[in-house]
Structure 1
Amino acid sequence: MYKNELDTHIKNQSVSNSFVFFGESVFLIDMYTKMLTNIDDANILNYYHDEYDFNSAKSHLSQGSLFGDRNILIIKSEKKVPKKDLDTLLEYCDKNPDNIFVYAYYGSDHKTYNNKKAFAKSNAMSVRFFHPKDYEAQNIVLEVARAKNVKIDKYTVSHLLQIHNGDVALASNEIEKFRVYDREITTKDVDSLVFGLAEVNLDDFIKKILAKKDFRDDLLSILEHGEDEIRVITAITSYLTQLYMFNIYIRVNGAPNALEILGYPAPKFVVDEKAALSIKIKPLIYSKLHELLLRSELKMKSSHIDKTAILLSTLIRVQKLL
């Protein structure tokens, strides 16, 4: 089944109470998981990656609620749940229509679930989510805007998506910035408040700093496109904090796990890159870098001196510490 078929079932109120979501779009998997489990007073049990425990999951679906509420089980994982476990959990949902079970699979083995025979013995709806097409992405962002009471038309949304190279997740996250306006959002507002992937990417800029390369032209471009010096500092601090989390996790467990470190799945190449970067920096250097960045941020917020000069000086000192 594909997204449009699921949408039809939702519209006709003919959805099942068990779902297997997989595919290329993590954003859509998460969006539909939240949509179909957003039930007041439900007893929700969430499992993320290695937290999954079959016995407690089975117990949650098999037990009756003391107050007549619904029991909801959500499993989010890059690893496949054993087929025998999955069949059992789906069977419990078939027996009790008041329960809801969503298995959100973030892995890349789509063939396993992209098969009508895989769940033929249950009422489960198996749905593959592809990356949204242009018009789908536009409609999704418009719906996010409506939910947040942000007035914005499809042309401005299209401009926002273009800035973020069609990334519906990033564009949807930007909508929050526009809630401060009690009027319709224009493309000028978007250009003023949004820093997109179409310009110099902040992550690429930070990686250039960490690689001790000349960053001055990129910094100038970033600032010319309206980025604030304080946000540049906080972005670098956040990036280094993430690397430090990778560093600690790898030293303790031997290998990185994006879901446990970041709280969400990430592509393998991203995980590998951040893991490699993280182990190049010693724990003591992480401490010194954070201290330097936080002091610089405080100085920018508490004085009227040239913020660009402070930022440039700070970035040069960052490279000297590395």
Structure 2
Amino acid sequence: MLLGQQQPSSIKKIKCMEPILEVRNLTCGYQTQPVFTDLNLTLYPGQLTGLVGPSGSGKSTLIRAILGLVRPWTGEIWFRGRRLKPGVAPSLVGYVPQVETVDWTFPVTALEVVMMGRYQKQKILPWSSRRDRQVARELLERVGVAHVAHQPIGNLSGGQQQRVFIARALVGEPEIVLLDEPTSSSDLHVQHELLHLLADLNQQGLTIILSTHDLNSVATHLPWVVCFNHGLICQGQPIDVFTPANLEQTFGGEMVVFYQQDRILIASGGTSLRHQMQDNLPQILRPSNSSKSA
């Protein structure tokens, strides 16, 4: 079984629970232009979900609406059976932003970045307590970067920076964490490490939603996928969802899907396919005579 993959029986068990997040008839947009309309989406506790779609498809807008950073035009968002107030940040929801939105030159250490996520837990005192600092250090240890706690955030590698922001998202003790394109500017090694870390956190009970356009990482690492392009296209396990028809509807272009045992490989169609297969794909995933396409 691949990393992060759940048995069908486990998925059925998850769906017997009460939803952790429900998006009901949600419409969002900017100025007079809607991004998506009448969106309905339900997610359950313990799911590790990839939200996939092209740039500009509305993935970030949906995440920002859940976080209260975008006010929906119409519709509702429910978390743990309670309706969220539009434009109000919900508690128990962690967030890892796109790396492009972070000012890496800001003079702050890794530990101080994590402490920023602790502020919403503080009710009276405007400064951090000894317990807050202890929790922050423990989380840096948990995500494998305790040794950089007192280094400036701008001096860290891309993978270390992402781990620090994951620790910041966890420091508020959330039940669900949303990540917006966490591997968009990372190399393959960093992507692999981050997805392993997220899978480990998910195994410990954390519900995770991450947006991405990296289909092969999703197919390899994540047990549930939502295809999104200005609305819900389809959702399910990668083996069921990643078909040429669904991917063309999602990304607006021809996609080729290869299967080899329990692995899925996706490449864009046309003349670039052979080049991608030869230069970028590991040997185990290259199509053989036994491979099938759909």
TM over 0.5: no
Q: Which has the larger radius of gyration?
A: 1
Q: Name the one with the larger helix percent.
A: 1
Higher RCO (CA 8 Å, separation ≥ 6 residues): 2
The TM-score, its normalising length taken from structure 1, stands at 0.28
Q: Name the one with the larger strand percent.
A: 2
The TM-score, its normalising length taken from structure 2, stands at 0.29
